[in-house]
């Protein structure tokens, strides 16, 4: 058998309700932090592509925004990104939490999955925080809803059973050459990853009503000698939010920058000088122009 036909290579999307651990799982599988995570729903806004290369082949993961009921144009964009990938990939990973109750959100996803012919692997995440009985009950409940190729319980946080999940994925990928060289981890531009790392720190440190109204734009990113100078703007929707993001004496903004800088330095493998500003763009999440300006481009645009 030729090398081209001895390896498997394909695209795998991770879908699920907000906050089920899609980004955490993807980071765990590739062994590096690319997608940002937080305990707030709808953290991921764009489709993020990462690559896992093993001797048996290559998996290209697509981490998508959580499927939820949209409340604005940004929400519509996020749901469209998630649902659009279902027809484009070789395998779908559907992440759920251990439960014996299937809510309206999961029912909506089931209806979407019934429309596609793509193999679906049900991934029951957060098993580290659940009793075995709850996991078994969840398997029984979901098995009655859809004909899954596999059902794999994992803990993305702890890494439990993730190697078994990778083996299952490879079983359903087509034979063929790798799409990327073996050193590639992601096709995301460094500017975009840096912006997302800053947004992650804002998500984690700000009050609950602010994060969904926050975007981060990298204004400039220039290497001078051994230092990368980055200027970034945190965009919010209200003047009152601007004050909270800046904080007393600029304390909160410094805190966000200090938390983001080491991770950006690790990513770029060099020292970083990070300068942050805050701007107000009222109702930007409902502005087609600003959504595109901030990198949330509808497919085909």
Cβ(66)–Cβ(20) below 8 Å: yes
Using the predicted structure, report yes or no on whether residue 39 has a pLDDT greater than 50.
Answer: no
Using the predicted structure, report yes or no on whether residue 270 has a pLDDT greater than 70.
Answer: yes
pLDDT band at 45 (very low <50, low <70, confident <90, very high): very low
Q: Determine how β-strand 57-63 pairs with β-strand 8-16.
A: parallel
Res 77: pLDDT: 55
d(CA 273, CA 176): 43
Using the predicted structure, report yes or no on whether residue 173 has a pLDDT greater than 80.
Answer: yes
Cβ(93)–Cβ(169) below 8 Å: yes
Cβ(170)–Cβ(56) below 8 Å: yes
Mean pLDDT over 125-144 rounds to 94
Res 199: pLDDT: 86
Using the predicted structure, report yes or no on whether residue 189 has a pLDDT greater than 80.
Answer: no
Higher pLDDT, 283 or 172: 172
pLDDT tens-digit readout, 244-268: 899 999 999 999 999 999 989 988 8
Res 294: pLDDT: 66
Burial of 162 per CB tally in 10 Å (0-12, 13-18, 19+): middle
CA distances to 76, 77, 89, 180, 207 from 185, rounded to whole Å, are 29, 25, 18, 9, 33
Using the predicted structure, report yes or no on whether residue 75 has a pLDDT greater than 60.
Answer: no
**Mean pLDDT for all residues in the chain:** 83
Res 64: pLDDT: 67
Q: Please enumerate in sequence order all residues whose Cβ is within 8 A of that of 216, keeping only pairs 6 or more positions apart, or say none.
A: 195, 196, 198, 199, 202, 232, 233, 234, 235
Res 56: pLDDT: 92
Higher pLDDT, 72 or 246: 246
Taking the model in full, what pTM does it have?
0.65
φ and ψ of 26, to 5 deg: -65, -45
Cβ(79)–Cβ(42) below 8 Å: no
CA distances to 112, 119, 120, 145, 249 from 115, rounded to whole Å, are 6, 12, 12, 13, 54
For the ranges 30-44, 77-91, 114-128, 132-146, which has the lowest average pLDDT? 30-44
Domains and CATH numbers, the chain: 3-171 (3.40.50.300), 190-293 (3.30.300.20)
Q: Please enumerate in sequence order all residues whose Cβ is within 8 A of that of 112, keeping only pairs 6 or more positions apart, or say none.
A: 67, 83, 86
d(CA 171, CA 275): 47
């Amino acid at each position: 058998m030729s090398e081209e036909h001895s390896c498997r290579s394909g695209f795998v999307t991770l879908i699920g309700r907000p906050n089920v651990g899609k980004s955490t799982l993807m980071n765990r599988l590739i062994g590096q932090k690319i997608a940002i995570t937080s305990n707030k729903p709808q953290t991921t806004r764009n489709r993020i592509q990462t690559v896992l290369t093993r001797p048996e082949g290559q998996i290209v993961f697509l981490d998508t925004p959580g499927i939820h009921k949209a409340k604005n144009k940004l929400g519509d964009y996020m749901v469209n990104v998630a649902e659009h990938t279902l027809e484009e990939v070789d395998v779908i990973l559907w992440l759920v939490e251990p439960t014996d109750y299937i809510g309206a959100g999961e029912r909506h996803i089931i209806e979407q999955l019934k429309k596609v012919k793509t193999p679906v692997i049900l991934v029951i995440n957060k098993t580290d925080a659940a009793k075995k009985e709850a996991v078994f009950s969840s398997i029984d409940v979901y098995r009655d809803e859809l004909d899954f190729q596999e059902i794999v319980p994992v803990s993305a946080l702890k890494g439990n059973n993730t190697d078994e999940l990778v083996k299952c994925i490879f079983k359903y990928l087509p034979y063929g050459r790798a799409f990327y060289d073996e050193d590639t981890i992601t096709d995301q531009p460094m500017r975009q990853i840096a912006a997302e790392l800053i947004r992650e720190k804002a998500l984690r440190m700000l009050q609950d009503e602010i994060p969904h109204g926050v975007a981060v734009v990298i204004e400039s990113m220039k290497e001078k000698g051994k230092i990368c100078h980055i200027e970034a703007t945190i965009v919010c929707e209200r003047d009152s939010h601007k004050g909270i993001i800046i904080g007393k004496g600029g304390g909160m903004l410094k805190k966000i920058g200090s938390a983001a800088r080491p991770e950006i330095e690790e990513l770029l493998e060099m020292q970083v000088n990070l300068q942050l500003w805050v701007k107000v763009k009222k109702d930007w999440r409902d502005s087609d122009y600003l959504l595109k300006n901030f990198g949330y481009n509808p497919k085909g645009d």
